[in-house]
């Protein structure tokens, strides 16, 4: 079985407007680092902000629906492609883990 590739998308939706896409990433680590940076830069420390700025993981080179019908895939809180976190502490823990792993890899593979 081939390794599936994904695209990670940081997005939000204000009111009834269309989703706004902030960034695309081709790997999980960069997506998490930048997603967490969004919260740090904006001084967001309340968990409800996780329901405002969303992170998605979509497969690439794959049809998500039949072209003869409407797509049921949406950008939203209930999307099956959304990466969810229990709270901001959970996201911060993943962020710290990625930073640690990058430092370890630098030492191992200079």
In the structure, what pLDDT confidence band is assigned to residue 47 with cuts at 50, 70 and 90? Answer: low
What are the pLDDT digits (tens) for 48-64?
A: 667 788 999 999 998 88
58 found inside a domain: yes
40 found inside a domain: yes
1 found inside a domain: no
Instruction: Look at residues 1, 97, 8, 88 and name the one whose alpha carbon lies nearest to residue 49.
Output: 88
Q: Are 11 and 21 in contact (CB under 8 A)?
A: yes
Number of domains in the chain: 1
Query: If you ran DSSP here, which 8-state letter would residue 18 be given?
Result: P
104 found inside a domain: yes
Query: Coil, helix or strand for 110?
Result: coil
Q: Which residue range(s) make up the domain with 87?
A: 6-108
For residues 79 and 75, give the distance between their C-alpha atoms in angstroms, rounded to a whole number: 6
């Amino acid at each position: 079985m081939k390794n599936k590739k994904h695209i990670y998308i940081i997005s939000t939706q204000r009111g009834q407007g269309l989703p706004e896409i902030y960034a695309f990433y081709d790997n999980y680590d960069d997506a998490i680092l930048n997603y967490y940076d969004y919260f740090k830069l904006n001084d967001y420390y309340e968990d409800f902000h996780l329901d405002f700025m969303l992170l998605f993981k979509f497969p690439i080179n794959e049809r998500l629906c039949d072209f003869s019908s409407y797509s049921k895939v949406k950008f939203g809180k209930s999307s099956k492609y959304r990466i969810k976190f229990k709270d901001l502490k959970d996201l911060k823990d993943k962020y710290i883990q990625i930073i640690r792993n990058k430092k370890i890899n630098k030492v191992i593979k200079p």
